[in-house]
Amino acid sequence: MDKRILIPTDFSKNALNAARYALDLYANLNCEFYFLNVFSLDSYTTKSLFLPEPGSTEYEMAKAKSEASFLKLLDIFKQHHDNPKHSFHTISTINFLSEALKQTIVEKDIELLVMGTQGASGTKGIIFGSNTVNAMEKITECPLLAVPQNVKFSPPKEIVFPTNFKSTFKRRELVYLIEIAKMHETAIRLLYVSKKQDLTELQETNKLLLEDIMQSIEHSFHNLTEKDVSDGITSFVESRNSDMIAFINHKHFFFSSVFSKPLVKEIGYKAIVPILALH
């Protein structure tokens, strides 16, 4: 069965960049790409409890504008990403973004969600837009790959996987990470950031389980003594010029520490890397 990937777009350069990254990352797999545009009406405000109905002049004009933009987008892909392994579908809808994403994921049996980290109205200097962060929190039905706007695709040679070894790992949680690693012969660097380097018995057991799951791909374990987890991850990624960060979002595990400072702001950070949030 073809891999099904959902990419929301507002037709900004950032959204286009995220789409191109996904097309290149999965260039060797048979994939169905679903592009979702949630359009809005100028007269509609969020104070209203009702979304405008199809059939109204304003609704139909907005939908037609969305569909016209999709024709231009597909033309770009035809010229620059003509891959017989890939097929494209477009969805234009009026809805709240989070609801539209969840609905499409269920209806189309989506396996991966790919989002740019800034929309057309993104604030300069902030890497993760609120839509992407909200999706990382709320979308639990499938993994999410967040692609920063300045990152161009090159085959990932190294993915950093931060973990505290406190949760028991399941193979199915890591299947997408291992798939990417096998496709591109990528090494996984398992990073433990803590003031205490000694592991408990439970952590040691979980580490052995993780090593067993990773045995089919190149991997290595690394320790960093840092007070701040996000600082440790950031410095590790920077020092090694790593290509991606992946983590399992166990009950928002790591969420506040990873997505608050250093990692989500462009502070002396030349190559912000994509982040794969697994569930």
Fold of 158-271: Rossmann fold (3.40.50)
Per-residue pLDDT tens over the stretch 138-149: 788 999 998 988
Is residue 263 scored above 70 in pLDDT?
no
How far apart CA 55 and CA 187 sit, in angstroms, is 52
pLDDT for the residue numbered 230: 75
Helices 175-184 and 13-25: angle between axes, nearest 10 degrees: 70
Which residues, 6+ apart, have CB-to-CB distance to 184 below 8 Å?
25, 155, 156, 157
Is residue 80 scored above 80 in pLDDT?
yes
Per-residue pLDDT tens over the stretch 139-186: 889 999 989 888 999 999 999 999 989 888 899 999 999 999 999 999
Superfamily for the 3-147 domain: HUPs (3.40.50.620)
Cα-trace Rg, the chain: 20
Per-residue pLDDT tens over the stretch 84-101: 999 999 999 988 889 999
Which sequence spans correspond to the domains of the chain? 3-147, 158-271
pTM given for the model? 0.87
Contact 221, 196 (CB under 8 A): no
Is residue 123 scored above 90 in pLDDT?
no
Domains 3-147 and 158-271 share a fold: yes
Q: How far is CA 123 from CA 55, 81, 182, 271, in A?
A: 35, 29, 36, 18
Q: What percent of the chain has pLDDT over 90?
A: 54
